[in-house]
Amino acid sequence: MFVTLVGMDPSLRAARVATYVYFVLCGTLMGAWVVHIPAIEERVGISHATLGGLLVLLGFGAFVGMQVAGTLTDRLGARIVVPVSGVVCGATLVLPGLARDPWTLAGALLVFGFCNGCLDVSMNAHAVHVEKAYGRPVMSGFHATFSVGGVLAALAGAGAASAGLYPAAAMAAMGAAGIVIALASARALLPAAPDVESPGSAQETDTSPAVERCGTTGRVWLLAVLALMVMLCEGAANDWSALHLKDVLGAPAGTAAFAYGTFAAAMTIGRLLADRFAARFGSMAILRHGAATAAVGITLVALGPWLWAAFTGWALFGLGLSGCVPQLFSAAGHDAPSAAGANVSRVAGLGYVGMLAGPAVIGWLTHLVALNHAFVLLTLLCATTAVGARVLRTGSERTRRPEMAGSSR
């Protein structure tokens, strides 16, 4: 349950900054692999189809890593698991760059995906603890900095390419920097999940770990299903937004590229603002109205015949989706504090499956209908998420609003 802190503890502020650092680090390390995909694909000598199959191994490794890290975070504490995950993720970044054939690349992606999944879930579990101690929503801000990490990786990759560095050398340098950053930020993390339960809150929280597990497991899986639908929409936008403008509306390649840029920029801005709105109106309102906004946006994309309508639609789609995933992760972590890592791993893991499946699902639908008409599926998923947002309305959610409003004031 959220509480209002009268005097902000410097150690808590340091923990929040350290969490930002780990989110940037995670986004940068994953982005470092993404920006070097074309060069690695050429070096290994594989086709796009083969690369697509190998990327499944990356996703599978991440999914397994999320489940392992969730349990370890609950048992050992985020202060141990987060920096260790950051170190091994940085150390394994170079492996895809060293691959010389499809088999070694497959193993490299499996290992790197596993380590990245460990870092992803453990830092999100720690973010939940920081949010509890702060007494107001801060999760969306953390997810916004993950996007910043992707931008940094793109800039570093462009610089490395201009300098003539091989992918392995560039990835090794970024991985080494990541190891140093992960170790340097470790001491600022919270030593354990903060005890934020007030004396009169026993009726609204739990009475024992067994009751807590029994009462929350079903709700957490509902959150995971919502995360799958939201992240499926996000994954579809990542891969199909530019192609929509180019193939459906006939836009030049340079103009079409701005479709994804519009979506990503709107999502980043939305995540920077979502915490303030969540503190004022509640997480359920963010999820419900955000999903509804995304539904309107993607419907405009699917049915609008003009470029301005497409850009407006992708902007609304990104803005609407921006606050949804952070609210779901936060709700999963707060649902059972003693099992925050495991619950976040369930939601993040199923959401990640949706992220990977999104492009493939839309691609399969294009065999039956036009690309823009395939986006109607995303409209249905967003509308379903808006209806399902009431899963966030619990007893603690209702009592949290006055405290959070007071905290924001």
pLDDT tens digits, one per residue of 247-260: 788 877 667 767 87
Query: In this predicted structure, what is the pLDDT of residue 199?
Result: 36
Distance CA 394, CA 392 (A): 6
Tell me if residue 217 falls in helix, strand or coil. helix
Q: Sign of the C-alpha dihedral, residues 294, 299, 300, 306?
A: positive
Query: In this predicted structure, what is the pLDDT of residue 386?
Result: 93
**Domains of the chain as residue ranges with CATH:** 10-188 (1.20.1250.20), 203-408 (1.20.1250.20)
Burial code (b: 16+ CB inside 10 Å, e: under 16) for 357-393 equals bbbebbbebeeeeebbebbebbbebbbebbebbebbe
The number of helix segments (H) and strand segments (E) in the chain equals 17, 0
Query: In this predicted structure, what is the pLDDT of residue 401?
Result: 41
Angle between helices 324-335 and 209-243 (to 10 degrees): 170
Query: In this predicted structure, what is the pLDDT of residue 362?
Result: 83
**Does 344 have pLDDT greater than 90?**
no
Query: In this predicted structure, what is the pLDDT of residue 186?
Result: 93
pLDDT band at 409 (very low <50, low <70, confident <90, very high): very low
Q: What is the pLDDT of residues 6-37, one digit of tens each?
A: 456 788 889 999 999 999 999 899 888 877 88
Query: In this predicted structure, what is the pLDDT of residue 216?
Result: 53
Query: In this predicted structure, what is the pLDDT of residue 191?
Result: 82
Distance CA 10, CA 31 (A): 31
Q: Which two tokens mark 116?
A: 């990245």
Q: Which two tokens mark 50?
A: 């083969």
Average pLDDT over residues 315-331: 90
**Does 1 have pLDDT greater than 80?**
no
Closest CA to 375 of 296, 320, 260, 283: 296
**Does 274 have pLDDT greater than 70?**
yes
- Which residue has 């503190």 as its token pair? 279
**Does 57 have pLDDT greater than 90?**
no
Closest CA to 326 of 292, 359, 277: 277
Q: Which of 88-97, 175-184, 214-223, 362-371 has the lowest mean pLDDT?
A: 214-223
**Does 398 have pLDDT greater than 80?**
no
Rg for the chain, CA atoms, rounded: 21
Distance CA 101, CA 224 (A): 36
Query: Which residues, 6 or more positions from 114, have their beta carbon under 8 angstroms from its beta carbon?
Result: 61, 62, 64, 65, 68
pLDDT band at 161 (very low <50, low <70, confident <90, very high): confident
Query: In this predicted structure, what is the pLDDT of residue 192?
Result: 66
Rounded to two decimals, the pTM is 0.78
Distance CA 327, CA 335 (A): 12
Query: In this predicted structure, what is the pLDDT of residue 229?
Result: 93
Query: In this predicted structure, what is the pLDDT of residue 337?
Result: 67
